[in-house]
Structure 1
């Protein structure tokens, strides 16, 4: 027990993820259910977790857990009609896309600046668009099962992806900006090799 050390960096990162994920629920519960569909914090949370958690398990587990908890709450409340009793149809495509988005944060955000943040944001929006809509298109009788059908599915998703981009930019600016300010004020939050955040 004496070897256990309190890591304030991990605690602050986790709290920030939970708070910003809470905004996903707050916005959804206080608006027309589909008006802000995809305008959420999950893209920013994926990038944030990938960028700041140096431990691979935490980098993937904490953002995925926040997505699961918010999905579960939404699937059992206001989106119950779209739920299959657990989450929603095709949830695994969303989680695959989300894991890939965390990976982008790990690979592209070694150094946090406006250019790397914008390029990683555009990358994850593209991943979200293609992967989640592949799940919508695949074996769906509403679309022909060829490139033209997939392209039509992608076109129909553009308004949702624009909102996803907007949400990722806004929530990302809040998350990354706040943590960089906190790191400047509290040096204990800076990553040190001996602490695996």
Structure 2
């Protein structure tokens, strides 16, 4: 596998992740019943599944998330917010979602569906730790408070699951289709390891 093919593939993968992240800006300034319908879970899985270089698999989705978070937070709070209360837990859940993506060895509807469910469970269980530990949290800093946060988060996690499925279908399906048309995009992690 030539370096040129790897660079083309990596560039296309990064562009897909950035394009998905840009959809976070479509509904800025309003909270709605579709809060948490974002591409973040699909971005994480996609990066983990397709980048053969582990550093890129984590760095590209994480940097994209960070930059898009800055834009989204600025639109809501009208000031530069790099890290918000609970950000550590959200980013930890995101790193774990990328890790789940690394286990997608063969892209199929079943593997993306299973990874979508697992990443939502990770996001739900890990990010709500931050919701409880935040200064001024609505929940007591106890296990009972954590359970309250989990229950309150169910509608948001439902939206994340739907968005994982929609964005996952677009990102994974789009890239798999592109691989059939452009051979430079088509190689597996195992091919790269043996070349």
Q: Encode CA deviations 1:104-135: one digit per residue, 9 max, x unaligned.
A: 0002x111111111111000000000111011
1:80 pairs, out of 67, 77, 82, with 77
Alignment root-mean-square deviation, CA? 2.2
For 2:184 and 2:91, how far apart are their aligned partners in 1? 32
For 1:111 and 1:90, how far apart are their aligned partners in 2? 34
Q: Match of 2:169?
A: 173
Residues 1:124 and 2:119 aligned together: yes
For 1:94 and 1:187, how far apart are their aligned partners in 2? 36
Partners of 1:37 and 1:160 within 8 A in 2: yes
Structure-2 change in CA distance of 1:34 and 1:87 (3 Å) = farther
Q: Which moved more, 1:84-93 or 1:137-146?
A: 137-146
Q: Encode CA deviations 1:159-192: one digit per residue, 9 max, x unaligned.
A: 1111111111101100001000000111110126
Q: Match of 1:163?
A: 159
In the TM superposition, structure 1's runs of 4+ consecutive aligned residues that sit over 6 Å from their partners are none
1:4 Cα shift? 6.5
For 1:61 and 1:89, how far apart are their aligned partners in 2? 22
For 1:4 and 1:175, how far apart are their aligned partners in 2? 24
Structure-2 change in CA distance of 1:194 and 1:128 (3 Å) = closer
For 1:126 and 1:183, how far apart are their aligned partners in 2? 30
Partners of 2:70 and 2:81 within 8 A in 1: no
Residues 1:33 and 2:38 aligned together: no
Unaligned runs of 5+ in 1: none
For 2:137 and 2:17, how far apart are their aligned partners in 1? 38
Structure-2 change in CA distance of 1:148 and 1:56 (3 Å) = same
Unaligned runs of 5+ in 2: none
TM-score, structure 1 as length reference: 0.87
1:98 Cα shift? 0.3
2:55 pairs, out of 57, 73, 76, with 57
1:1-197 residue pairs with structure 2 within 5 A? 5=4, 7-26=7-26, 28-29=27-28, 32-76=30-74, 78-80=75-77, 85-107=81-103, 109-138=104-133, 142-191=138-187, 193-194=191-192
Q: Encode CA deviations 1:71-114: one digit per residue, 9 max, x unaligned.
A: 011112x2216x7843322111111100000000002x111111
SS at match of 2:83: coil
